[in-house]
Amino acid sequence: TLIEPSEIQFELTPITPPCTDATNGQIILNNITGGAGNYTYALDGNNGGVIQNTSTIIDFVESGDHVVTLTDMNGCLATETTFVPSSNEIEMNLGDDQTIELGDSVQLFPIYNFVPAGVIWSANTPCSDCLNQFVSPTYQTTYTLTMLNDEGCVTTDAITILVEKNRHVFIPNVFSPDDNGFNDIFYINAGQDVKEVKNFRIYNRWGAEIFVQEHFQPNDPLMGWDGTFKNKNMNPGVFVYFAEIEFLDGRVEIYKGDVTLKR
């Protein structure tokens, strides 16, 4: 007596392709029952091969709808359909390029649509594995950020910070050391782009040095001249100053001119 095999049945499990590679999905064909055994399968009408056990994995499947046909040794067929979803594209954006003044800082903060599992900055940053951070470049710098998710998918973006160098230094041409609390000290004013005043010297009209100060920060009246020489008040007159100023980018500029002392 011939016993007719039971109907072929099987299950399909779609696997989303990793990252944005739409051609590298998978379909797991498993829980095969019924039929006469020695199964072969076809994907979308294309022969795929022999199934050795009760399951197999079909590789290199594009995202979208697919038809899997299973055939046993007697030529009996069974068909199932499945849908392989597309992976969600990971995106990250560092924003537009920016321009800052020498000595200023700018915050780098990416906007992204996934849970980051790793962070790599290509340029020198205070924290190589931090997402958000402040940087203070002294010259035009491009910062490239590479991020990946827990599946190993990678996305990259870059931002360029341009640095303007206007050399903010102000040295007055007159002061009045009369102890009225206003304009009593002759000192150097500067912006955040200055690293230090390397030296600051003042000479009388005969070329004699009457004041010197070295290696100090600008904007400090304590580092300026109070109009005295050897603890004696100088008479009103015109004096010559010389200043050597170093900026954050390493450039050194010489400033010289006249200052009038009034009483």
pLDDT tens across 40-86, in order? 999 999 988 888 778 899 999 998 999 999 999 999 999 999 999 88
**What local confidence, expressed as pLDDT, does residue 156 receive?**
95
Query: How confident is the model over 188-229, as pLDDT tens digits?
Result: 999 999 999 999 999 999 999 999 999 999 999 999 999 999
Which 3 state secondary structure label does DSSP give 53? Answer: coil
8 A C-beta contact, residue 188 and residue 208: no
Specify the range with the lowest mean pLDDT, choosing from 17-26, 120-129, 194-203.
17-26
The mean predicted confidence, pLDDT, of the chain is 93
Where residue 153 falls among pLDDT bands split at 50, 70, 90? confident
Which 3 state secondary structure label does DSSP give 222? Answer: helix
The two three-digit tokens of residue 206, written as one number: 């005969």
Query: How confident is the model over 170-192, as pLDDT tens digits?
Result: 999 999 999 888 999 999 999 99
Instruction: Return phi, psi of residue 54, to 5°.
Output: -95, 10
Q: Which domains does the chain carry? A: 9-84 (2.60.40.10), 92-164 (2.60.40.10), 169-261 (2.60.40)
Q: For the residues 137-155, what does the mean pLDDT come to?
A: 92
Q: d(Cα 208, Cα 225) in Å, to the nearest integer? A: 15
The two three-digit tokens of residue 177, written as one number: 């050391």
Q: d(Cα 221, Cα 77) in Å, to the nearest integer? A: 95
pLDDT value at 1 more than 60 = no
**What local confidence, expressed as pLDDT, does residue 2 receive?**
65
Q: Who's near 107: CB < 8 A, 6+ residues apart?
A: 132, 133, 134
Q: Who's near 75: CB < 8 A, 6+ residues apart?
A: none
